[in-house]
Amino acid sequence: MSIDRVVPLLLIMSAVCLGLGVFLPVVEVRNFAIFSSRFSIMEAAAELIIDAQYLLGFVVIVFSIVFPLGKIIVASLIWLRHRNGASVSIRWFSRLEFLSRWSCADVLLVALAVVVAKASGIAGATMEIGMWFFAAAIPLTAYATHRLKKFAGPI
């Protein structure tokens, strides 16, 4: 089958959205309508590690940064192999499937933090622009992998 030229564009867009989502503020937390704090995923993970919450910091880094970035990298490698005319092993697609299973866990973590902040009654939380970029990376990557399977999938 012919090379799908939309896949690299989708992967680039998803990588940019993921990067913006990780470094731009994702949540603003307001305490007592006087104090407010905005933080990004990277800042939250760093703060958890600084506060000796190593396991939670590690979980945030792995599920919010490593797995989504790994999915983009593996999809890019599959596309490059296919574009260069090489066969794509079923192992590459199984790696992609493994990473895909966890692709919504990252957004769930951030959304859960917002719900906890609101439910506590002590703080109000609102989503910031980083969350929208972060969330946009998921369907972009999912659509790219869908097209990859369609055009480069093992026969």
CA distance 141 to 134: 11
| Helix or strand (DSSP H, E) at 28 | strand 27-31
Q: How high is the mean pLDDT of the chain? A: 79
**Residue for token digits 């910091």?**
57
CA distance to 3, 52, 64, 97, 138, per residue, from 133 (Å): 28, 29, 13, 23, 9
| Residue-level pLDDT at 73 | 92
Split the chain (155 residues) into runs of 10 and give each run's mean pLDDT: 78 96 85 72 86 85 86 89 76 75 61 57 74 89 86 62
Q: What is the pTM of this model?
A: 0.80
Amino acid 1: pLDDT: 46
Q: What per-residue confidence (pLDDT) applies to 83?
A: 80
Count CB atoms within 10 A of the CB of residue 87.
10
Residue pair 68/141 in contact (Cβ under 8 Å)? The answer is yes
Residue 23: predicted pLDDT: 95
Residue 152's identity, in one-letter code, is: A
Q: Which residue has the tokens 């407010």?
A: 36
What is the pLDDT at residue 155?
A: 46
φ, ψ of residue 87 to 5 degrees: the values are -75, 150
At 13-28, the pLDDT tens digits run 999 999 999 999 987 8
